[in-house]
Structure 1
Amino acid sequence: MADMFDYVIIGSGAAGSVLCRRLTEDPGVTVCVLECGPADRHPYIHIPAGFIKMLFNPGYTFQFQTEPGEGIKGRRIPTTQGRVLGGSSSINGMVYNRGQRADFDSWAQRGNRGWGYVDVLPYFQRSQKRIGSGDDRVHGRDGVLPITDNDWIHPVMEAFMTGAQELGIPRCQDYNSGDEQMGVGYFQRAIQGGYRRSAARMFLYPARETGRLAVRTEARACGILFEGTKATGVGYVHDRDPSVRREVFARKEVIVSSGTVNTAKLLQISGVGPAWLLQQLGVPVVADLPVGENFRDHYSTRIVARVKNARTINEMARGPGLAAQVARWMLGRPSILAVAPSIVHWFWKTEDTMRQPDLQGVFSPASYKAGFVGLLDDYPGMTCGVWQHRPESVGHVRARSVNPFEDPVIQPNYLTDPMDQRVLVKGMHWARRLLHTKALEPYFAADVLPGPAVRTDEEWLDYARQYGSTAYHLIGTARMGPVTDKTAVVDDELRVHGLQGLRVVDASVMPSMPSANTYSSTMMIAEKASDMIRGREALAPVEGVAA
């Protein structure tokens, strides 16, 4: 007897988990979700500070690396993605950041009907359970995912924000308002009661309780099955025993929600991709499409300074200090165990004539060795990071072989575009200025990374090439656009061009980079896609928020 469901979803991350919940809301509908990684039982997944432990744990992540880059001195950069129930939502920084109205209006202007800001706003709201202040015309109060304000206050953070205001950067009360992102303030985050609220816990687990969702962990997809140009199912192997191969079939649709890297690789090894690449792989061409191209990511640099006259997270995370923080967390009090890695945001512009910012910055009273997220420094430290909102450098993701266990080629081409170089250098100048304000002076001890010797634009660019890294915001490898757009893979209902029964629903479909972290937009895409898949009318635009 065939292993048959109405829908087969490949990937249980932010998009896959949302789809699991929405599709199983219909009585009689059956769904199977394949997750390459294990169940999300590790305690560090659910304690927000466990991020630093899980990010480099190969048992729960894909430890991808980029190819050596011309713009980054030939370095390879770790590009970790989640490999566990919840996907990257179980290991990410938990920041909730939608971006600017113009981001989504530009998607619609590319020919994607129904993807303008007023069209997608109701789908942001449907996911969200906003706990805290905010305009209810743009925020959701009755959704699934709790979004809270930071409750852990540190004097260095407050001084940083006061110093930003000295430099003319206003205090921003709600960067998710859709209209005014400019300013400095605390991030909103998917943390509640001291715990991470992942997409799996909020969306997938309730769906499983309906009895209409089959969850298969350690199931690595190795190919989409086709009858002609119609997707009919998925072949997969056990992630720890490749000799165990199975197939699962879809009556209605196969939905790929594997993330920007894995979605590209899976489509390619299934025969959906550039014909020249498929021929190299020895894969019969099902559809000649630019899968894997148009890849973009945010390239981030971090400026580190030594702190005086205050204890930072660096010391609080060790010895008696850590014991005290654990005790606070267990009592439900604000603690470093329940904060996001980036606590303060600053959105700013590199030219005075701009109406909206082209930079996103982050700040925390913590610092990491060599500026990379991982191991905390031994001294009191603080970090001010920055990246360009909309990078112009374009890369690609390409399968190396048909072996589903072999990582693909990931080449972002960071800093190859002159615009990216100019904007990031200006952003780093701003980051240093923010660390040298009068308000922060009582806590500022010394520049550590890159140090006071770096001053000219050329020196800053050289520093960015040597020490910059990914912000883990990967998009674009299955770009959304009309069939006349030769860079597009899916249409505005996320159906793969020229094929039947196959959709892509994840960050890979984003036509361009949002001026934000990509987590919330990925959930929005899945919310909107779920109505399309179910044949429902799109949610009505929200009144009172038209441009």
Structure 2
Amino acid sequence: MSEAQYDYIVIGAGSAGCAVAARLSEDGRFRVALIEAGPRDTSPWIHLPLGYGKTMWDERVNWKLYTQPDPNMNGRPIYWPRGKVLGGCSSINGLIAIRGQAQDYDEWTEYGGKQWSFREVLPWFRKSETFTDDVNPDYHGKSGPIRVDPIRRGHPLIDAFIASAGNLGIPRNSDFNGPDQQGAGYYHLTTRSGLRSSAAVGYLRPARGLANLTVVTDARVTRIRFAGRRAEGIDYRRDGKTLRMDARKGVILSAGAVHTPHLMMLSGLGPAAHLKEHGIDVLADMPGVGGNLQDHLQFRLIFRCNRPITTNDDLNSLPGKIKIGLQWLLSRSGPLAVGINQGALFTSVTPGSDRPDVQFHVATLSADMAGGKVHPFSGFTMSVCQLRPESRGQIRLASADPGDQPHIHPNYLSEENDRKAAVAAIRLARRIAATDPLKGLIEGEELPGPSAQSDEDILEFARGNGATIFHPTSTCRMGREDDPLAVVGPDLKVRGIGNLWIADCSVMPRIVSGNTNLPAIMIGERLPEFLKE
């Protein structure tokens, strides 16, 4: 069945896709279709910041992916939640507003030229943001679609963590998106008045009244159609029917670092030998599609608190639940308004490193895994991750059936420097926990536990307990004309293919030093300008 033609079709209504569709349609020049595999963002758990403990496991809004068993992680498959709903991962993530380091983007210029330097991308970060406090206007925006709030009420555990870090020489930092990322402090969050500020809320709600923007949900794209080597539309499944859309000007892939390369390979763009193994006709031999996979691997240290001040205590009692419910209802504050991770730390643990290479997420609760049921005791978590891992993985087809999820091979800890950084980061977390005033709030270490003391013991803990912190990138990376593994050029156009672009985290040549939601939105802001030019 055929539907009406559009100028542009955007595949994936995630962090970047929402920005692309809204910006392309805002001046009325183009007829735009935004197509999303998941439903509309109507679940109340999406909009309540602490609700991502629910959406983490909800198959209605979450792809609930698993990696292949990873030999470097004791043969374990690792759970990879990914957004399948309007807003994508911005509707189910931890709400942390981090852009990365200026040096990250300056390094991107090796692949994408000066237009991807920090000086060039900073205006797009500012354009996407409404920051609610009076801070440095050189770094922050005041009228963008994404609302960013500071955490206004401190917590004794986070305050103690920051003070202990300070006693170890790590300075306090009140703005990790300012001139310097180094330090410890409270995260800024993508929230507005105690509610989540997702890409769907920020970009799509204002655009929904536009006659030239069509949003189609619960629609699984099965392939991109081509006329020769030019993209001309898509096929998709909805309500048991096979449908199609045609694009006059082009197709934009914003399906994320897993599903963008998956859809490209299903459509005949990828490593030729691999496509032939699955009986797929090769339109273009592109060895870089699905390669270069990078992700942040987290290690979660869990401590018992000697005072009933944790979110565990609130969630494990009826009076506690009533208290945090009233906090949210009366003042849009408390645990329901800020999610799970509040405390931040960026510093270096690698000898000779001139900038932070590890990140901490400190949560006032504890559970067996991120988004799991909280422990029955007073507990909190220090999660540590290496910011710029050297290990590289890949995305590969499971079959030629679009309904089969691709195989994810992260290859965590396959590089020696990554293993050393993991051990050093865990040791730093322990040093902070053993330093006053945080030391005075700790009853004991639950994980890794006192038996893990040697480097070998700590590395074994990392292999047996490490998990994604939900930042896969770089599987269709940008590069210059002479780069055989580049999938897109600096303008995000797919190499050698007409009318096909990519705008999501898959185009990053290297993973950024921090959370990936804001960088994905920045990429989504940039592509429409390339197209309009």
| Bucket of the pairwise TM-score, normalised by the shorter protein | over 0.9
Partner of 2:245: 248
After TM superposition, the structure 1 = structure 2 runs for residues 247-326 of structure 1, keeping only pairs within 5 Å, are: 247-289=244-286, 290-318=288-316, 319-326=318-325
Residue type of the alignment partner of 1:219: A
Q: How far apart are residue 2 of structure 1 and its match?
A: 4.9
Partner of 2:82: 81
Partner of 2:421: 423
Kindly indicate whether residue 367 of structure 2 is the aligned counterpart of residue 363 of structure 1: no
Q: How far apart are residue 335 of structure 1 and its match?
A: 1.4
Superimposed CA distance per residue, residues 386-439 of structure 1 (whole angstroms, 9 cap, x where no aligned partner): 110100110000111221211100000001111100011100000111111111
Q: 1: distance between equivalents of 2:3 and 2:159? A: 60
Residue type of the alignment partner of 1:171: R
Partner of 1:539: none
Partner of 2:328: 329
Change (3 A) 1:97 1:194: same
Equivalent pair of 2:359/2:384 in contact (CA under 8 Å): yes
Residue type of the alignment partner of 1:221: V
Equivalent pair of 1:113/1:492 in contact (CA under 8 Å): no
Q: How far apart are residue 81 of structure 1 and its match?
A: 0.2
Q: 2: distance between equivalents of 1:181 and 1:246? A: 47
TM-score, structure 1 normalization: 0.95
Partner of 2:464: 466
Partner of 1:514: 512
Q: 2: distance between equivalents of 1:194 and 1:142? A: 19
Equivalent pair of 1:384/1:435 in contact (CA under 8 Å): no
Equivalent pair of 1:185/1:344 in contact (CA under 8 Å): yes
Superimposed CA distance per residue, residues 68-126 of structure 1 (whole angstroms, 9 cap, x where no aligned partner): 11110000000110001111110001101011111000000234341011011111111
Residue type of the alignment partner of 2:250: E
Partner of 2:499: 501
Kindly indicate whether residue 17 of structure 2 is the aligned counterpart of residue 20 of structure 1: no
Partner of 1:183: 183
Q: 2: distance between equivalents of 1:424 and 1:450? A: 13
Q: 2: distance between equivalents of 1:91 and 1:152? A: 23
Q: 2: distance between equivalents of 1:87 and 1:111? A: 26
Equivalent pair of 1:95/1:517 in contact (CA under 8 Å): yes
Report which stretch shifted further, 467-476 or 431-440.
431-440
After TM superposition, the structure 1 = structure 2 runs for residues 232-247 of structure 1, keeping only pairs within 5 Å, are: 232-238=232-238, 241=239, 243-247=240-244
Equivalent pair of 1:350/1:423 in contact (CA under 8 Å): yes
Q: 2: distance between equivalents of 1:333 and 1:204? A: 24
Superimposed CA distance per residue, residues 244-264 of structure 1 (whole angstroms, 9 cap, x where no aligned partner): 000001111100000110101
Q: 2: distance between equivalents of 1:120 and 1:340? A: 28
Q: 1: distance between equivalents of 2:60 and 2:333? A: 30
Q: 2: distance between equivalents of 1:99 and 1:148? A: 17
Q: How far apart are residue 174 of structure 1 and its match?
A: 1.3
2:376 pairs with one of 378, 384, 402: 378
Q: 1: distance between equivalents of 2:195 and 2:84? A: 20
- What is the total number of aligned residue pairs between the two structures? 530
Equivalent pair of 1:15/1:506 in contact (CA under 8 Å): yes
Q: 2: distance between equivalents of 1:123 and 1:13? A: 17
TM-score, structure 2 normalization: 0.98
Q: 1: distance between equivalents of 2:381 and 2:34? A: 39
Q: Which runs of 5+ in 2 are unaligned?
A: none
Q: Please give the secondary structure, in 1, of the residue aligned with 2:176.
A: coil
After TM superposition, the structure 1 = structure 2 runs for residues 50-449 of structure 1, keeping only pairs within 5 Å, are: 50-177=51-178, 179-238=179-238, 241=239, 243-289=240-286, 290-318=288-316, 319-351=318-350, 353-369=352-368, 371-449=369-447
Q: 2: distance between equivalents of 1:167 and 1:2? A: 62
Superimposed CA distance per residue, residues 332-368 of structure 1 (whole angstroms, 9 cap, x where no aligned partner): 2421101132111000111464321111111122111
Q: Please give the secondary structure, in 2, of the residue aligned with 1:3.
A: strand
Equivalent pair of 1:95/1:340 in contact (CA under 8 Å): no
Q: 1: distance between equivalents of 2:111 and 2:244? A: 37
Partner of 2:485: 487
After TM superposition, the structure 1 = structure 2 runs for residues 522-533 of structure 1, keeping only pairs within 5 Å, are: 522-533=520-531
Equivalent pair of 1:70/1:416 in contact (CA under 8 Å): no
Equivalent pair of 1:224/1:235 in contact (CA under 8 Å): yes
Partner of 2:33: 32
Q: How far apart are residue 441 of structure 1 and its match?
A: 2.5
Q: 2: distance between equivalents of 1:229 and 1:207? A: 32
Q: 2: distance between equivalents of 1:218 and 1:460? A: 44
Residue type of the alignment partner of 2:527: A
Equivalent pair of 1:14/1:522 in contact (CA under 8 Å): yes
Partner of 1:538: none
Equivalent pair of 2:52/2:371 in contact (CA under 8 Å): no
Report which stretch shifted further, 110-119 or 185-194.
110-119
Equivalent pair of 1:152/1:339 in contact (CA under 8 Å): no
Equivalent pair of 1:152/1:336 in contact (CA under 8 Å): no
Equivalent pair of 2:148/2:191 in contact (CA under 8 Å): yes
Q: 2: distance between equivalents of 1:417 and 1:224? A: 36
- The percentage of counterpart residues that share the same residue type is 36
Residue type of the alignment partner of 1:502: L
Equivalent pair of 2:25/2:213 in contact (CA under 8 Å): yes
Equivalent pair of 2:35/2:217 in contact (CA under 8 Å): yes
